Amino acid sequence: MTFSSLGLSAPILKAVAEEGYETPSPIQSKAIPAVLEGRDVMAAAQTGTGKTAGFTLPILELLSRGTRVGANEVRTLILTPTRELAAQVGDNVLSYSRHLPLSSAVVYGGVKVNPQMMRMRRGADILVATPGRLLDLYNQHAIRFNKLEILVLDEADRMLDMGFIHDIKRILAILPKQRQTLMFSATFSDQIRTLAKGLVNDPVEISVSPRNTTAQTVTQWISPVDKKQKPALLAHLIKHHQWEQVLVFSRTKHGANKLSRYLDDKGITSAAIHGNKSQGARTKALADFKSGDVRVLVATDIAARGLDIDQLPQVVNFDLPNVAEDYVHRIGRTGRAGATGQAVSLICADEVELLSAIEQLIKQTLERKEVHGFTPVNELPETGYDPNRRPKKIKKPKQPKTEYQGGHRAGGNKPHKKPGSTGSSGRQTSPGAKQRSRKPRVSPVKAGTR
């Protein structure tokens, strides 16, 4: 299959070729024709499958056939759970639309609202937004939805995990009922299906990777270790294997900061990224990591969600996530778009139940590799995938939710806020801009000026 056989026009095909994409990924070959037919779509696809192009390319095709957008109007709304993902999707929209006379904009919390209000005066064919800031702008009459044609919910599962259900319901209530709706989610839980019922109409259901399985291109193993030895083991692994770009997951913000300091002390450059960091600090940490200035990025689950780092070779779970599904999301950061990756989990005896829940969820026993000099005193009990056992539900943690909302909302993503009362930085740069220097890119703010 080729992109040209999918019904996309020359300006889009040209942009796709310039991106270096040769063949459509499975999600793209299924989603593109369905969207072009005007169908609603419900797609189970994790990050790294090419889902962003899967919905953006046909949307651009449909929009390029219609009429131009008026002041404050939006023709397509793409909702994402995090600022980073919004910026990345906005970046992709810009790239794919570079030969079309279509405009796009990105709005999210944590930065000043005024430039976004000014930008919206010209309207946007495509608006990428996080829910809180979108409502904020709507409440200040900066956005009108009367011309809305298409709604995309990206990473819908994560939006629910992050407590955005009420914001989503508020947004749905102000959108025209007559529209095309596309819903993307890494997993389709019962809660997501319930949400989908009131959202999509006779959808084409697409699934490109079986539910809750990890990407095939990722090699996974675990290293049993005593809790206190984890930082030393991590430093040892990084040095011994000469890992140059490592994304490390920490369960807590405090833990992320502490670990980052420890690594720096050991001569391993690192940065921490989590909800307590300002948007500017998060953007800088990501850019430094992508450019190679920083070797290790220590992130909490929420902050790491949606980070698009091409061909990330190495992911380390310093702590296991409290929710087994988050393991799948974390692993989705590596081995993307056909590249191979390695995911290592440092596991102490306390985490045996979490490990067991993960092995049941991903339906495989993770290989154990004990590192010489780090044999745990508190032995990690045997675990393994048992096809006859029902998956055990682990209690959901409160921490990531509050962490995100704390950082995000403190940055001004609350609806009903007064103009000018938000954020510290007025700049709206893309976290992906530096790393992708091989191709000319423009920031989301520039997108708006077209």
Q: DSSP of 358-421, one letter per residue?
A: HHHHHTSPPEE-PPTT---SS--------TTSPPPPPPPPSHHHHHHHHHHHHTT--TTPPTT-
Choice between 97 and 422, CB closer to ligand AMP: 97
Stretch that binds ligand AMP, among 43-51, 232-240, 374-382, 399-407 (CB under 6 A): 43-51
CB of 168 to ligand AMP, least distance (A): 21
- From the list 14, 194, 156, 174, the residue with the least C-alpha distance to 78 is 156
Choice between 224 and 335, CB closer to ligand AMP: 335
Strands (E), 275-378: 296-299, 314-317, 341-347, 367-368
By CB under 6 A, residue 63 contacts ligand AMP: no
Pick one of 47, 72, 209, 334: the residue that binds ligand AMP (CB under 6 A).
47
3-state secondary structure of 154: coil
Choice between 28 and 76, CB closer to ligand AMP: 28
Instruction: Give one word for 155, left, alpha or beta, with left for phi > 0 and alpha for psi -120 to 50.
Output: left
CB 19 within 8 A of CB 56: no
**CA 372 to chain centroid:** 36
3-state secondary structure of 262: helix
Q: DSSP of 164-215, one letter per residue?
A: -HHHHHHHHHHS-SSSEEEEEESS--HHHHHHHHTT-SSPEEEESS-TT---
Please tell me the distance from the alpha carbon of residue 391 to that of residue 356, in angstroms, as a whole number. Answer: 9
Stretch that binds ligand AMP, among 20-28, 166-174, 374-382, 403-411 (CB under 6 A): 20-28
CB of 288 to ligand AMP, least distance (A): 19
By CB under 6 A, residue 290 contacts ligand AMP: no
By CB under 6 A, residue 337 contacts ligand AMP: yes
By CB under 6 A, residue 53 contacts ligand AMP: yes
**CA 144 to chain centroid:** 26
Stretch that binds ligand AMP, among 19-27, 101-109, 161-169, 222-230 (CB under 6 A): 19-27
Judged by CB under 6 A, the number of residues near ligand AMP is: 15
Stretch that binds ligand AMP, among 44-52, 129-137, 168-176, 221-229 (CB under 6 A): 44-52
CB of 306 to ligand AMP, least distance (A): 8
CB of 10 to ligand AMP, least distance (A): 18
By CB under 6 A, residue 214 contacts ligand AMP: no
3-state secondary structure of 23: coil
CB of 49 to ligand AMP, least distance (A): 5
CB of 209 to ligand AMP, least distance (A): 11
Choice between 330 and 414, CB closer to ligand AMP: 330
By CB under 6 A, residue 4 contacts ligand AMP: no
By CB under 6 A, residue 21 contacts ligand AMP: yes
Subset of 307-326 contacting ligand AMP (CB under 6 A):
308, 310
3-state secondary structure of 295: coil
Q: Which residue has the tokens 């996974």?
A: 220
Q: What is the largest CA-CA distance in the chain?
A: 68
By CB under 6 A, residue 52 contacts ligand AMP: yes
Q: What six digits make up the tokens of 424?
A: 């510290």
Choice between 32 and 296, CB closer to ligand AMP: 32
The mark string for 400-439 relative to ligand AMP (x by CB under 6 A, - otherwise) is: ----------------------------------------
Would you tell me which residues interact with ligand AMP (CB under 6 A)?
Answer: 21, 24-25, 28, 47-53, 308, 310, 336-337
